[in-house]
């Protein structure tokens, strides 16, 4: 509806859309930066992981050499988990990322395993695998944040593009339409007023002509008596 009021409203909306787009672009940039950081860390951790796992598997072989087959004793003794994982939330530019951290619960229930044989190798084995578990937990948090961030970045970019290529042009077009309509209407008003003035002038000119004609037709008109110039008034009885 082409209105002045609507015009102002539209201008405000355009402004809003532009600010929104800029903010979203900034958010997308921050997320991308964090994304690249995480990617680098993932590559690092994965290579370290390969090394650590290899070492841990080898220390298992060493321990088996010295202590015999202790796998069944360990499996039978399993009770509760000694290393547990907690999930925390981290916030990056408005996106909540899950972060996992591990914590130890309870003492080491396998302290005395290998007491008589292979204790040294077993403790080395425990250390190696503990390190492997730490790395695994870290890797898990990195990968989940990677996936979440990826989605968040896609959504934000989609929104930025939508605003830029769809919303703003639409508002632009509406605005131009309104302005053109308003201009047209002004011009119409103006034209109409002009026309009315002309007509009025013509009408006035015609009526004057008619009056002049009628006056001339009546001839010399006795002028009515002018009361003010009269000297004597007939109606006055007593003077």
Chain residues binding another protein by CB under 8 A are 54, 57-58, 61-62, 64-66, 68-69, 72-73, 76-79, 111-121
For another protein, the closer CB: 68 or 169:
68
d(CA 220, CA 100): 117
Whole-number Cα distances in Å, 126 to 79, 129, 207: 17, 5, 118
Minimum Å gap between C-beta 67 and another protein is 8
Minimum Å gap between C-beta 114 and another protein is 7
Minimum Å gap between C-beta 47 and another protein is 17
Instruction: For residue 95, list its beta bridge partners.
Output: 92
Task: Let me know how many helices (H) and strands (E) the chain has, helices first.
Answer: 4, 2
Q: Give the CA dihedral 159, 163, 164, 169, nearest 10 degrees.
A: 160
Whole-number Cα distances in Å, 166 to 97, 128, 169, 211: 30, 56, 6, 67
Minimum Å gap between C-beta 117 and another protein is 7
């Amino acid at each position: 509806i082409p209105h002045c009021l609507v015009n102002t409203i539209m201008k405000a909306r355009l402004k809003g859309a532009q600010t929104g787009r800029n903010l979203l672009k900034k958010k997308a940039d921050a997320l991308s930066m964090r994304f690249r950081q995480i990617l680098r860390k993932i590559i690092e951790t994965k290579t370290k992981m390969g090394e650590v796992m290899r070492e841990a598997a080898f220390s298992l072989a060493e321990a088996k050499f010295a202590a015999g087959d202790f796998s069944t004793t360990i499996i039978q003794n399993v009770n509760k988990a000694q290393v547990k994982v907690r999930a925390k939330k981290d916030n990056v530019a408005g996106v909540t990322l899950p972060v996992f951290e591990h914590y130890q619960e309870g003492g080491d229930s396998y302290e005395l395993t290998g007491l008589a044989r292979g204790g040294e190798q077993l403790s080395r084995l425990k250390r190696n695998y503990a390190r492997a578990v730490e790395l695994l937990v870290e890797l898990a948090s990195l990968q989940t944040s990677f996936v979440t961030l990826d989605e968040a970045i896609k959504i934000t970019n989609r929104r930025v593009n939508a605003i830029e290529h769809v919303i703003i042009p639409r508002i632009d077009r509406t605005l131009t339409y309104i302005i053109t309509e308003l201009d047209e209407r002004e011009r119409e008003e103006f034209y109409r007023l002009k026309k009315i003035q002309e007509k009025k002038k013509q009408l006035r000119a015609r009526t004057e002509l008619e009056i002049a004609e009628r006056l001339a037709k009546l001839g010399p008109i006795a002028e009515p008596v002018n009361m003010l110039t009269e000297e004597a008034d007939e109606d006055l009885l007593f003077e």
